[in-house]
Amino acid sequence: MIEVRVAHLGLDRTTNTPVVILQEREGERVLPIWIGPAEASAIAMELAGVKFARPLTHDLLKQVIVGLGADLRKVIITQVKDNTYYAELHIYRGDAVIQIDARPSDSIAVALRLKAPIFTSETLLAITSVDTGESSGDATGPTTLDTDTLKTYLQNLDPEDFGKFTP
């Protein structure tokens, strides 16, 4: 397994869809995963340290895990099938290990909140990664969003937009 970290959030210029960019901790390869705007917002808020008076969904899941006396030890981005990524939450409670199938975007949002490492396989990283060694300025690839641009994008979303994305 290869540990990855959230390098940044981007926006696919061709579809205006948010993209979370995972980068190898010990390397240059990146793994882009297209996600929905709600999950992008949850990841962005955690990266920016934004807290709310009441828990949002990913904060609630964090509280459930902690409240049950469990520990999220790792998230694994397991595969991509038909352009859909899959992930697992590995939760430990005592001697029990519980593996939960989840969307990568939700898994990343929860992992960030619980400071859990994120992993993927060498095979998945090799077949789906983008090499950051050369930047050609391709207008069709993901572009990095600064915090203000992402915040504006998320604030201007219409609630109807959420129905346009498939998990």
- What's the pLDDT score for residue 146? 53
pLDDT classification of 85: cutoffs 50, 70, 90: very high
- What's the pLDDT score for residue 105? 97
- What's the pLDDT score for residue 35? 95
What CATH number should be reported for the domain holding residue 57? 3.10.690.10
Q: Enter the tokens of residue 105.
A: 């975007």
Q: What is the residue whose two structure tokens read 């009441």?
A: 54
Where are any strands of DSSP class E within the chain? Answer: 2-12, 17-24, 29-34, 71-81, 84-93, 96-102, 118-120, 130-131, 142-144
Question: CA-CA distance, 133 to 26, in Å (whole number)?
Answer: 14
- Of the two residues 82 and 66, the one the predictor is more confident about is 66
Rounded mean pLDDT of the chain?
83
Sign, CA torsion 138/140/144/147: positive
Single pTM value for the model: 0.78
- What's the pLDDT score for residue 120? 96
Question: CA-CA distance, 54 to 33, in Å (whole number)?
Answer: 28
Sign, CA torsion 94/106/21/34: positive
DSSP assignment letter at 85: E
pLDDT classification of 79: cutoffs 50, 70, 90: very high
| Domain count along the chain | 1
- What's the pLDDT score for residue 155? 52
- What's the pLDDT score for residue 141? 47
Q: Beta-carbon neighbour count of residue 90 at 10 Å?
A: 18
pLDDT classification of 1: cutoffs 50, 70, 90: very high
* pLDDT(51) > 60: yes
Domain that holds residue 130: 2-164
